């Protein structure tokens, strides 16, 4: 996953960034409620579903905030990144893209697979 991929994702989801934040918070609340009051088997199921419910919206929210073409914090016209040399800008953008890609893969694939394997 490249910065270009996350820029297209940011363009698509930027208008829904508050919904993405709310979805992550709802996932956190469901996880907390499931772990505190649910029976052990239901708590395990809630824990399995909570990973994707928290990580995927959070990664999309970070993509919207970092990679949006006009208001993204990692764009060349931003105040902080714009002052860096172009090579450093590209390195920072690629680093962020790799981290977001790992968050998406771990949250959407690895967490559920490991959770089901441990049940």
Summarised one tens digit per residue, pLDDT across range 28-70 is 998 898 888 878 888 888 888 888 999 999 999 999 999 998 8
Residue 119 has pLDDT above 80, yes or no: no
Name the residue with tokens 């790799």.
98
Q: What count of Cα atoms within 13 Å lies in the side-chain half-sphere of residue 10? A: 22
pLDDT value for 82: 83
Give 16-26 pLDDT, tens digit per residue. 999 999 999 99
What's residue 33's pLDDT?
87
CA distance 44 to 118: 9
pLDDT in tens, 65-108: 999 988 889 888 888 888 889 899 999 999 999 999 999 999 88
pLDDT, average across residues 3-16:
90
Residue 6 CA neighbour count, 13 Å, CB half: 29
pLDDT at 93: 92
Q: How large is the average pLDDT for residues 6-24?
A: 92
Give the global pTM: 0.86
């Amino acid at each position: 996953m490249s910065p270009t991929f996350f820029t297209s994702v940011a363009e698509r989801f930027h208008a829904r960034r508050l919904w993405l934040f709310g979805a992550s918070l709802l996932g956190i609340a469901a996880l907390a409620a499931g772990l505190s009051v649910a029976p052990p088997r239901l708590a395990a199921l809630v824990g399995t579903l909570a990973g994707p419910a928290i990580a995927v919206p959070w990664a999309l929210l970070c993509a919207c905030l970092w990679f949006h073409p006009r208001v993204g914090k990692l764009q060349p016209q931003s105040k902080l990144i714009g002052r860096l040399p172009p090579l450093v800008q590209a390195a920072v953008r690629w680093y962020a893209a790799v981290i977001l890609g790992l968050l998406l893969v771990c949250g959407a694939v690895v967490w559920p697979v490991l959770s089901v394997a441990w049940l």
